[in-house]
A and B are shown apart, each in its own frame.
Chain A
């Protein structure tokens, strides 16, 4: 694999990872706002 292709793949993987993380944080924030105390306790530890 040439360095150019490798760097491109590395960039794509990093970008995809960052996007997934940001989406997960956004979903978590939305869920947290609507979450009841009781649900939170039941799903927790």
Chain B
């Protein structure tokens, strides 16, 4: 081999080495982070538009109640997953001019807001929202509440299954509650230990203070969550509330796992056979003097309010199980 050939070979080897290294990074790390373009995920990204109150094209449960509020309207806020319920409540009992939507978000004077769980808890403590519809508060949210001298009332108004998700091509369909705890505590690190492929398990978590992360910490109780350091090259498992992922499971490459042999469908949640079901709550500041808070919550717990919860896709009370 002459000198020129060796030089060209050396340059080609350097370029090929970088290309191979970058391709590996892309496949293992970058690609999983790209936005999912499936219809289910697209639907979630335009949620506010899809579920606006007083809109003929809205997908909310359209009930017009005889119970109507006209003044001292409580500001309703809450978790993204529960926004269709909040919107349907407002649609049923508020006057139309109570809601101001600028095309992207609700304006400050709107009586319907959608700040999501973390900001909604802050808003109810700060007095910016009167009633929030959310999962239980996290330790940090309870601490913020105590630091501000506020006492919250949590009224259970419905319930929903806490579900675990894996990629649609993962052959594992069912795990026990103990196996799930084993995954998140670091006892199981490879899917082959659970009847799956020989791939590392990548147990995903969410931001502290989000409703599903709080539910996960509650599920794990005193067991510490440990990350698998090699998980990023493996196959992931995550968690959410059933309603929030229903569209994605239907149209995307994600599936919900059965727990202890029970799939999280509405029947199994309602009859209590699915093992992890959490209440969601109407939460308000006990010292809030708005006279319509209690009447509105009474209406939410009435047949009409519970009908909205059920028709939206959640499980109404009293099928509660915490």
Contacts and interface: CB of A to CB of B under 8 A. Distances in A.
Interface of A: 1, 6, 9-10, 13-14, 16-18, 20-21, 24-25, 27-28, 31-32, 34-45
A37 B239 contact: yes
A10 B7 CA distance: 9
A41 B254 contact: yes
B22 A21 contact: yes
By secondary structure, the A interface counts as helix
Contacts of B167: 41-42, 44-45
30 contacts: A1-B3, A1-B4, A1-B7, A13-B14, A13-B15, A14-B14, A21-B25, A28-B29, A31-B34, A32-B33, A37-B204, A38-B240, A38-B248, A38-B254, A39-B33, A39-B34, A39-B36, A40-B32, A40-B204, A40-B236, A40-B238, A41-B165, A42-B36, A42-B41, A42-B168, A42-B252, A43-B34, A45-B169, A45-B170, A45-B235
Residue from A21, A28, A42, A43 having most chain B Cβ neighbours under 10 A: A42
Contact of B25 (A6, A25, A36): A25
Interface string B213-254: 000000000000000000000111111100001001000111
Q: Tell me which of B18, B26, B235, B239 has the highest count of chain A C-beta atoms within 10 A of its own C-beta.
A: B18
B103 interface: no
A37 B240 contact: yes
B30 A20 contact: no
B17 interface: yes
B199 A45 contact: yes
A40 B202 CA distance: 11
A7 B15 CA distance: 14
Closest 5 CB pairs of A and B: A17-B18, A31-B33, A37-B238, A39-B36, A35-B33
A8 B64 CA distance: 76
B30 A27 contact: yes
Contacts of A36: 36, 41
Given A9-B11, A37-B165, A38-B41, 10 more contacts: A10-B10, A10-B11, A13-B15, A31-B30, A31-B33, A37-B204, A38-B165, A39-B36, A43-B33, A45-B169
Nearest to A38: B248
A20 B19 CA distance: 9
Interface in B27-45: 29-36, 38, 41
Contacts of A32: 29, 33
Contacts of B166: 41
